Amino acid sequence: MGRLIRTVTVVLALALLAVGWWYRVSRPVDASDVPAGANYVPVNTVVVDIEDDYTVKRRYAGEIVPLRTSDLGFEREGYLRSVLVREGSTVEKNQEIATLDTRRLEERLREISAAEREAKAVLDELIAGPRSQSLRAAVEAVNGLTAQLNYARSTRERKEDLFEKGVGTVDDLELSRSRERQFTAELAAAKERLDELNEGSRRERIRAQTARVEQLAAKKSLLKIELDDSVLRAPYAGRIATRFLHEGTVIQMGQAVVRLLEDGTLTARIGVPLDAAATLLKQSGIEVYAGGQAYRGTVASRLPELSETTRTATVVVDLQDAANLIAGQVAHLDVVQRVEETGCWLPTGALVRGTRGLWACLGVSETKPLDGTSGVSRTIGLLQKHDVEILHADESQVFVRGTLSQGDRVVGDGTHRVVPGQWVELLELSEG
């Protein structure tokens, strides 16, 4: 029981002390309360300047990448005969990088070339028409067959007379008639051949042979393209980053052999908020930091979609004089943004702990001149707590809003040495 009484007594005493301190701090203080001849704690103050906005500088990270990166491969499958570069090699535009085996293509090209020459010869013959020797031979054939037909006709007439007189036989008569029909048919064929030679080649045959020549020429061109595709060349100057395959591999169409990075021209891809990206696109020049140095650059474009992981917009910055950078380095971009919020800047040292985890500052609610012992005029002020909300903070100052007004004085530092309701000496004022 005695222990309980002592505990209650201690609690009541502490409560009375707390109520007394709170009364002294929170009650209005009149200038008449200023103790005469007291030693006042000197404090530095700043003058509150209410602003309608503030600027924030934020740093965003990205990556140094070449302007162009290509995985180079052949447009056809085949046996990889040679790879002429190694990782890290520098190549010029159109320089040979790798080759495929081309023996089958070369033999096929020889075959097509021979067929093309044959088709052209036939076409030339059709266009030129028959030779004079062929015409003379055809005329002589017609004349010879005409003479033979006349002889066969006269023979047949003689055999018919003999048969009517009862001298000839039926077999002799039929044989003479058969030979006459034979020479008649041969003469007709010879005349048609002569007419064809006289008229020349038919236009249909010439067109058909021309199409045949063009078909073979197209096949020959395709083989030449495949031969050219058997040599892998650099589409632009750059450096070999990766070599995927080695000699002796049978590769598939489109399979990558090497990876080429464009040399000299580097860009930085940095993810920033969407509104910041729109601001950057309007600027003529910006600075990108990489490897401890700043590089001038211009925003070339903004990618048309947000990053799935960071939900930021990626801006592409073309860098200048960045020859000592390499792809893959981390790049940083500082973006200054304007935030429309009403408040004021205060030194970080002006903040004190408020109630319920909030922040506050000590403002000067009342001032009074006070003559010093040396005759120098001094100013003292009464401190009052103001609750504030921190909107932005950097290394040395904070932007806050609260119950402060334009022109108010706030203790700038040393707040741990004073308390609300205390009279202090105001040193030379500085603007915050």
Asked if residues 348 and 365 have their Cβ atoms less than 8 Å apart, the reply is no
Q: The domain 72-101+231-260 is classified under which CATH number: 3.40.50.1000, 2.40.50.100, 2.60.40.420, 3.30.565.10?
A: 2.40.50.100
Residue 355 above 70 pLDDT?
yes
Residue 75: pLDDT over 70 = yes
In this predicted structure, the answer to whether residue 281 has a pLDDT above a threshold of 60 is yes
**pLDDT tens digits, one per residue of 381-429:** 999 999 999 999 888 899 999 989 999 999 998 898 999 999 999 886 4
Strands (E), 279-376: 286-290, 293-306, 313-319, 330-339, 344-347, 351-353, 359-371
Per the structure block, which two tokens stand in for 333? 């971009």
Confidence of residue 3 (pLDDT cuts 50, 70, 90): low
Rg over alpha carbons for the chain, rounded to the nearest Å, is: 54
25: pLDDT strictly greater than 80: no
Same fold, 28-53+342-431 and 57-68+262-339: no
Q: What is the pLDDT of residue 11?
A: 54
Residue 330's contacts (CB-CB under 8 Å, 6 or more residues apart) are 61, 62, 63, 64, 290
315-322 average pLDDT score? 86
Worst-scoring range by mean pLDDT, 43-47, 84-88, 218-222, 425-429? Answer: 425-429
**What local confidence, expressed as pLDDT, does residue 189 receive?**
86
pLDDT recorded at residue 431? 45
pLDDT for the residue 29: 42
Decide: 251 and 302 in contact? Cβ < 8 Å: no
pLDDT-derived band at 8 (thresholds 50, 70, 90) equals low
pLDDT of 135 over the 70 cut: no
The Cα–Cα gap between 162 and 146 comes to 25
* Angle between helix 103-128 and 203-229 (nearest 10): 160
Higher-confidence residue of 412 and 356: namely: 412
Q: Any idea which of 162-171, 181-190, 206-215, 306-315 has the lowest mean pLDDT?
A: 162-171
pTM score of the predicted model:
0.54
**Of the candidate ranges 11-25, 137-151, 253-267, the one whose mean pLDDT is the lowest:** 11-25
Residue 304: is its pLDDT beyond 90?
no
> Which pLDDT band, with edges at 50, 70 and 90, does 19 fall under?
very low
User: Do the beta carbons of residue 409 and residue 386 sit within 8 Å?
Assistant: no
| Per-chain mean pLDDT for the chain | 83
Q: Which CATH architecture has domain 57-68+262-339?
A: Beta Barrel (2.40)
Residue 376: pLDDT band (50, 70, 90) is: low
**Mean pLDDT, rounded, for 41-66:** 90
pLDDT at 395 (0 to 100)? 83
Please report the pLDDT score of residue 390 as a whole number: 92
pLDDT digits (tens, 9 = 90+) for 102-114: 999 999 999 999 9
pLDDT at 5 over 90: no
Domain residue limits, the chain: 28-53+342-431, 57-68+262-339, 72-101+231-260, 107-224
User: pLDDT confidence of 130, banded at 50, 70, 90?
Assistant: low
CATH architecture of the domain with residue range 28-53+342-431: Beta Barrel (2.40)
Rounded Cα distance, 312 and 306, in Å:
5
- Helix residue ranges, H only, 297-384: none
